[in-house]
Every structure is written in C-alpha cells, then in structure tokens.
Chains A and B, each alone.
Chain A
Amino acid sequence: MSAITEKNSTSTSLKPQFRIGSALSYLVLGVSTFLVVFPFWWMLVVASNTKDEIAKNPPRFVIGDQLPVTFDVIFEYANIYRAITISFIIAISMAISHIFFCTFAGYAFAKLKFKGQKQLFAFILLTMMVPGQLGIIPMYILVTRLGWNNDLKAIIVPGLVSAFGVFWMRQSISAVISEEVIQAARIDGASPWQIYTKIVFPLVRPTALVMGLFSFLNAWNDFLWPMLILDGDKMLTVQMAIAQMKEQAYIVNHAAQMGAAFFATLPLIILFFLVSKQLVKGVMEGAIKG
C-alpha cells in the first residue's frame, strides 16, 4: 500500500507530514500518559512518606521508605485483600451479565422486528435520564424487604442489566452489522438464534468486550450503594476500604488512603494489560472477516 501511495504526485507531501504527525502523536500520548500517571505516582509518594514530608513546600516527589508502615495501618483498618476479592466478584458478575444480556437485547432492538420496538427502546432511554439519588430510598426498602441485607445479591441483582449497555450495543450493532450479511445468513437457512451466535456476536465482540470492561469499572467504582448494603467488616468493597482509612477522630490518614487506593488499582491495571491483548485479537479477527 505504501508503495502505491509513494508513486502518487501527492506522496512527497504525504511522507514528511506523516512523520510530523507521528511525532506529534507520540508527544500527545506521552503528555497524556504523564498527566494520567502522575497522580498515580503521587499516590505512591504520599503512601510511602511521612505526613510532614508531604506537607513541606515543595513536597518530596520521591518514593520514601514508609511503605511497610502504611501497609500495617491499612491492614489494621480494613481487610484489603477481602475487599479486593469482593469488589472483583461483584464487578466480574456484572461484566459477564452485561456482555450476555445487553448484547442480546441490543441485537433485538437493532436488527429484529417486533411490535412496539421503537417505544420500548425509547422507554429504556428515558429511564436513564432520571437521576439516581432518589431512587436509592425505594431500592433500599425493596432490597431489605427481600432480606438481602449485607448480601452481595443486593448489589449484583439490580446490576445484572444496564440500560447503558443496551443502548451502546444497539448503536454498535446497527453500525457494524449490515442487512446483507443477515439476509445472506437467512438464505443459508440459519435460525435467528444462530444468526446471533454465529454471525452477529463474533463481529461485535470487541465492542461487547469493551462494554463489559466498562461495566466492570462502573461496578468497581460504585461507592454509595455498597456502603449502604454491606457491613464494612467481613463484607466490604474496595471503595469502602479506602474510605475507612482513618487516623484520628475527624482526621483522615492520607498515607493509608493513598496506599489503599494505589494497591486497589494495581490488580485492575494488570487486568487491563491482559484484556487489551484479547481486544486486539478480537479486533484482528473482526477485521479479517469484515
């Protein structure tokens, strides 16, 4: 391909442009990464230095030696391992459930025809526009009547489906899957279920995976609801654990909070590296097929 473009008359201006563009790209990525990583680095610095070192102006920017001390404080105040495990269970359940349910429902809204389709979808959209805070009270009453106090069910079951996910998958599927592909499959005698599993899902899998990833993230970051439901001792999420890092009455132990936040984020970053490889694989397959 590059051989062909080189022969074009416009190619002389293309090549240097590409190089500058490339340099600019790396610069932007570099700056973005710095902005992104710096607070993360700062967390580690706060977690590993004593309070007064940080209070200086300008404060220390280097990693100190207080990490083991911070570790002790963290574990004294909250069982971080347990919190990470529980958050993980919640988040993975939601992610898998969303990948399953939302893609399926999104497909139905995008490609299948049935009565009231437009209205039902509009209804889902409308419900997303209602602010969540007030809904917390009736939800809490409902959940406690079901006896799900301090039970992960209270967090996972309401989160098994997501209007956000359905909306996203519907948009993706209608963009990526063309009518011809489906027609061809129908002519070949495929049942609607087979069309979904063998043709649609594989094509839209990269997006579905990303949506699953985001469902995972939303569940991981959710602070208010789990705090109401769980007792914070044997049952707690990562966000609750971080909030529990206290030093004295009314005063927060920043080192412990930062340390907990840092170590709570680390497994996720490792997870991303693993998942992004999958994403690349899925995308390559999609590109070849499409």
Chain B
Amino acid sequence: MNLKLNALVKSKSSLRAGEGRLAFTAISPFYFLYLVFGIFPILYTSYMAFFAWDPLGEKVFIGLTNFTNLLQDEVLWKALRNTLSIWVLGTVPQLALALYLATILNRNRLRFSNFWRAAILIPNVTSVLAIAVIFSSLYGRDFGLINYVLNFFGVDKINWMEGTLTSHIEISSMIIWRWTGYNALIYLAAMQSIPKDLYESAALDGATGWQQFIYVTLPGIRNVMIFTITMSTIGGLQTFNEPYILGGVTGGNDKQFYTLAMFLYEEAFRKFQFGYGAAIGIFIFFCVVIFALINAFIASKIAKD
C-alpha cells in the first residue's frame, strides 16, 4: 500500500511532464501541417479582403471599403436568407431522420444489419454530378416524375427551380438524400458505445422505448449530437455544390437559390473581384461563429435540464 502511495506521489510530477510531452507529440505534427495548409491560406485570404484585388492584374489597398460596400449590398442579405432557408430545410429534417435511422439500426435483433448500414451510405458515395442529373430530371417541370405524381393529387405543374421556396426544397431534398445516411452512421457509432446495462436498468424501472430514448440514448450521445449540429451548421452555411450543380453558377434569374458561398465564388472567380470575395468569406466566417456559439449555448442549456 505504502509503495503504491509513494509511486503515486512520485509519479504525479513526472506524470505532468510525461503527459505534457505526449500531448506535444500528439499535437505537433497535426499543427505543423495545419499551419502550412490550413492556416496560411486563411491568413492570405484575410489579407486580400483589404484590397481591390484583381487576380490577374494589380492590387490596390482600400482599407475597409470592401466591407462597407458588402454590408450595403442587397445581394448579400438575399444570399444570407437563401442560405439560412436551405440550411433549415435541409439540416433539421436530416438530423432528425438520421437520429431515427440510427436508433433502428442500433437494435440488437435487426436482420441484415450490415446491408442496411451499407445501404444508407450509398448516397454519399455516388458522384454529385450524376445525382444532380437525376434530381433535375425528377423535378422537371413538364416531364419530371415528381410533378407527374403530384398531378394525381390535383397539383399543377411546379417549376421547381424558378420559385424561391420550391428551389430551396429541391436543393434541400438533394442534401437530405445525400447526407442523412452519413449522420445516421455517426449517431450509430456513438450509440453503440453506450453500455447496454444502462438500457437494462431503465427497462427494469419500467421505461418504455421512447423513455429509454430520451433518458438513456440522447444523453449518451450528447457530445456527438453537438458535434453533428455544429458540423451541419458549418457545412450548411457554406452550401455550394448542390445549388451550383442543380441550378447553375448564377443562382437563378432572381438569385432565388443563390447562397453565400456562390456569391463568394461568382465575385472572386467570375468577376475577378478577389478582395470583395475575401470580404464575403470573412462575413461567412462570422456568421458561422455566431451560429456555432448559439448552438453551443442552447446545447449546454438542454444539458442542464
């Protein structure tokens, strides 16, 4: 016993040092690479925002002009509204559905579980280009399958990509299709780390399936839920691929599905305004930070209950 205590006391200081060294080894390769390939581009981009920067020509220092112009640009606020709308329509149902799918896949006696698990990941694996062609044709105004079916219910032909809400629905449905399985698997992996005896004791206490879900599953995957919500926020506010491929680079003739990221792309790569594009990038960054903080705040509030 005494020996053990001695060992404890002795090792505490060397423990700190040992841990510190290990931590250093663990993090430094990551940080080094990250510094070069992750942080340098970001710093360079921020630098660009203070210039009128023509990528193939000259750059002129203009201080905060890009930012003041940007905040007064009505296109920015439209893009922000579109981005938020697509994000809500795409992320909320997606995460809820992912959670539900994960609980189903988590069942002990599920048959063919391997098959289901692989199946839900298929959407994420298929090429976005190919899928966009399929979704475009499904949502075609005159000959698309969806309008064909809706017609049976007396609904007129919808020109999906023309309208604001309808284009958001089409884009969100593609995002949901593509990413639900992905998030479901993240939840599943987390759920499978919850000790089974917690469920047993809950069942013994008479908890129903639903109650077990609320009181055992959810708290158990709380960290991972925060993770997926944060990642969905970060990803959602930067949505680019789906609207770009479905609807083209200009985001619709009234910019009805123009997202913040598309705005950045068009300004920088099609209008040669790198400084302005960089300013948009910084704006997006601030939006994401604000949302992430709100998320974290709400999440910690829920945890307290």
Q: Chain A: residues with CB nearer than 8 A to chain B?
A: 1, 4-5, 8, 10, 14, 17-18, 21, 25, 28-29, 32-33, 35-37, 39-40, 42-43, 57-58, 101-102, 104-105, 107-109, 112-114, 117, 120, 124-139, 142, 157-158, 160-161, 163-164, 166-168, 171-172, 174-176, 186-187, 189, 191-193, 196, 203-204, 206-207, 210, 213-214, 217, 220-221, 223, 238-239, 242-243, 254, 257-258, 260-262, 264-265, 268-269, 272-273, 276-277, 279-280, 283, 286-287, 290
Assess the A176–B193 pair: CB atoms within 8 A: yes
Assess the B128–A223 pair: CB atoms within 8 A: yes
Assess the B227–A158 pair: CB atoms within 8 A: no
Which of these, B22, B200, B223, contacts A192 with CB under 8 Å? B22
In the complex, which residue of chain B has the Cβ closest to the Cβ of A217?
B124
Nearest chain B CB to A183 CB, angstrom units: 10
In the complex, which residue of chain B has the Cβ closest to the Cβ of A207?
B189
- Give a binary string over B1-44; 1 marks a CB under 8 Å from any A CB, 0 the rest: 00010011001000110111111101101110110111111101
How far is B285's CA from A207's CA once the two chains are assembled, in angstroms? Answer: 28
Assess the A269–B117 pair: CB atoms within 8 A: no
Which of these, A107, A168, A176, A210, contacts B227 with CB under 8 Å? A168
In the complex, which residue of chain A has the Cβ closest to the Cβ of B100?
A28
Chain B interface size range: 35 or more
Assess the B42–A105 pair: CB atoms within 8 A: no
Q: List 22 A–B pairs whose Cβ atoms lie within 8 Å, in order of A's numbering.
A: A37-B119, A37-B122, A104-B30, A105-B26, A107-B26, A109-B27, A120-B27, A129-B285, A142-B40, A158-B36, A161-B30, A166-B30, A171-B227, A175-B190, A175-B223, A192-B19, A196-B22, A257-B130, A258-B133, A272-B117, A283-B193, A287-B196
Contacts of B126 in A (CB 8 A): 39-40, 43, 261, 265
Q: List 9 A-B pairs, minimum CB-CB distance, nearest first.
A: A135-B41, A261-B130, A158-B37, A129-B288, A108-B26, A138-B44, A272-B118, A171-B223, A175-B223
Assuming A265-B127, A276-B117, is B189 touching A206 (CB within 8 A)?
Answer: yes
Decide if B154 is an interface residue (CB 8 Å cutoff). no
Q: Chain B: residues with CB nearer than 8 A to chain A?
A: 4, 7-8, 11, 15-16, 18-24, 26-27, 29-31, 33-34, 36-42, 44-45, 48, 55, 100-101, 104, 107, 110, 113-131, 133-135, 143, 145, 148, 177, 180-182, 185-186, 189-190, 192-193, 195-196, 200, 203-204, 206, 208-209, 220-224, 226-227, 230-231, 234, 238, 240, 260-261, 264-265, 268, 274, 277-278, 281, 284-285, 288-289, 292
Known: A39-B131, A135-B41, A175-B190. 11 other contacts (CB 8 A): A108-B22, A112-B20, A127-B42, A142-B41, A172-B189, A204-B193, A206-B192, A273-B118, A277-B114, A286-B192, A290-B193
